[in-house]
Amino acid sequence: MQPSGEFDLIARHFRRPPRRAIVGIGDDCAVLQPSPGCRLAISTDMLVAGRHFFPDADPHWLGHKALAVNLSDLAACGARPLAFTLALALPQADDAWLAPFARGLFALADAHDCELIGGDTTRGPLNICITVMGEVPGPGQHGGALLRSGARPGDDLYVSGTLGDARLALDALQGRLSLPPEQLARARQRLDAPTPRVALGQALQGLASAAIDLSDGLLGDVQHLLDASGVGADVHADAALSLLAHGRQPGDAALPRPTLLACVLSGGDDYELAFTAPPSLRDAVQVAALRSATPVTRIGSIAARPGLQLLDAQGRVLTDRFPSFDHFA
Ligand code: ADP
Ligand code: MG
């Protein structure tokens, strides 16, 4: 560990020449010029040691994940990433921790051309708070931003990618189920290094009627979208189960169906997108999925009556509960 103060630490690990920013790190404020005609989309997410990650988590992947969960919010809005700020509380100025953290953070930031423009650094229990800024084309009331509130009865309900691995990994790491090491490693990838669906979100602009990213669990997060839209939904349990990545490879451990359903329906931390679109746009949605190299699966439809109904293959309503993650529940 090199002896250093707060400002050396920032200079060594986080300060880079400004690119798009007019003023970047080093002044009291950063100054940004959004593209002409664009609206800003802004979101904040905080990761707390012991709450959102194990205190001994690999700093490289922690840097990745701290930004990924924020980019996922931009993805849900269909926004193009621009810039972010980083507020860090650190127990100590440990270069051996900060260097890989910054590498993981910047690797993902550079992949999305998203610039670090400022932040704050203090001593305290490890806590990482990022605010991300993106842009969506105007005009119109919200510009091109996808919102939670636009779902209409008759719309299809889709989910991107795969679900359940992050929860499977967490359950295995905390001893609630056992997975062979190679399968745990595969599932853990999703827990440690989520992929924000930024390209899909932008490709869905003008197609999706509503969207949300899945951080706390499919059913709970979709319920937020339904509440904001004032509608309900029918979700097909088997279609949802087809979202599981686990079980797709020969030799994957056979796990009980209730465990798999719980991973898919209430497991959090997957950072996929759930979105709705009218059936007339099915082909266009598939083109958007292809263009963004992100598979999407139709798992249900929007209903006028309130509430989310989970249906089995025979169309019977399942009454099991699949609660989402809630920090204060
Ligand atoms: P102020 O006292 O005005 O809040 P600071 O002295 O805390 O500013 O920070 C100095 C500069 O370093 C500012 O431009 C701030 O945005 C930047 N900065 C501080 N911490 C970080 C960080 N963790 N990552 C990136 N930039 C940072
Ligand atoms: Mg400060």
Q: Are 34 and 40 in contact (CB under 8 A)?
A: yes
Pocket of ligand 1 (CB under 6 A): 10, 14, 25-28, 86, 88, 116, 118-121
Q: What is the pLDDT of residue 4?
A: 65
Q: In angstroms, what CA-CA distances link 228 with 60, 151, 211, 225, 306?
A: 36, 9, 11, 5, 11
**Closest C-alpha residue for ligand 1 atom 11:** 26
Q: Looking at the CA of residue 28, tell me the nearest atom of ligand 1.
A: 3
pLDDT digit of tens for each residue in the chain (329 aa)? 454 688 999 999 999 999 999 999 999 999 999 999 999 999 999 999 999 998 889 999 999 999 999 999 999 999 999 999 999 999 999 999 999 999 999 999 999 999 999 999 999 999 999 999 999 998 777 788 999 999 999 999 999 999 999 999 999 999 999 999 999 999 999 999 999 999 999 999 999 999 999 999 999 999 999 999 999 999 999 999 999 999 999 999 999 999 999 999 999 999 999 999 999 999 999 999 999 999 999 999 999 999 999 999 999 999 888 887 877 77
**Closest C-alpha residue for ligand 1 atom 12:** 26
Q: What is the length of the chain? A: 329
Closest-lying ligand to the alpha carbon of 84? 1
Q: Which two tokens stand for residue 185?
A: 């490693």
Counting ligand 1 atoms within 8 A of each CB, the residue from 121, 126, 127 with the most, and so the one to mutate, is 121
Q: Are 49 and 124 in contact (CB under 8 A)?
A: no
Q: Looking at the CA of residue 13, tell me the nearest atom of ligand 1.
A: 24
Could you list which residues have their CB under 5 Å from ion ligand 2?
120
Domains of the chain, start order: 6-137 (3.30.1330.10), 148-311 (3.90.650.10)
Closest-lying ligand to the alpha carbon of 5? 1
Q: What is the pLDDT of residue 55?
A: 85
Distance CA 10, CA 188 (A): 30
Q: What is the pLDDT of residue 278?
A: 98
- Strands annotated E in 17-173: 38-48, 80-90, 115-123, 127-137, 156-160
Lay out the sheet containing 156-160: strands in order across. Answer: 210-214, 272-277, 156-160, 296-303, 232-236, 307-311, 317-318
**Closest C-alpha residue for ligand 1 atom 22:** 119
Counting ligand 1 atoms within 8 A of each CB, the residue from 4, 10, 94, 129 with the most, and so the one to mutate, is 10
Distance CA 299, CA 320 (A): 18
Q: In sequence order, what are the residues at sequence separation of 6 or more whose Cβ sits closer than 8 angstroms to the Cβ of residue 77?
A: 41, 43, 134, 136, 145, 146, 147, 201, 211
Closest-lying ligand to the alpha carbon of 27? 1
Q: What is the pLDDT of residue 139?
A: 79
Straight-line distance from the first to the last Cα atom of the chain, in angstroms, rounded to the nearest whole number: 40
Distance CA 64, CA 60 (A): 6
Closest-lying ligand to the alpha carbon of 9? 1
Q: Looking at the CA of residue 25, tell me the nearest atom of ligand 1.
A: 14
Q: Looking at the CA of residue 121, tell me the nearest atom of ligand 1.
A: 20
Q: What is the pLDDT of residue 160?
A: 98
Q: What is the residue-wise DSSP string for 231-249?
A: -EEEEEHHHHHTTB-TTSS
Supply the Cα-derived Rg of the chain in whole angstroms: 20
Burial (CB count <10 Å: 0-12, 13-18, 19+), residue 165:
buried
Q: What is the pLDDT of residue 79?
A: 98
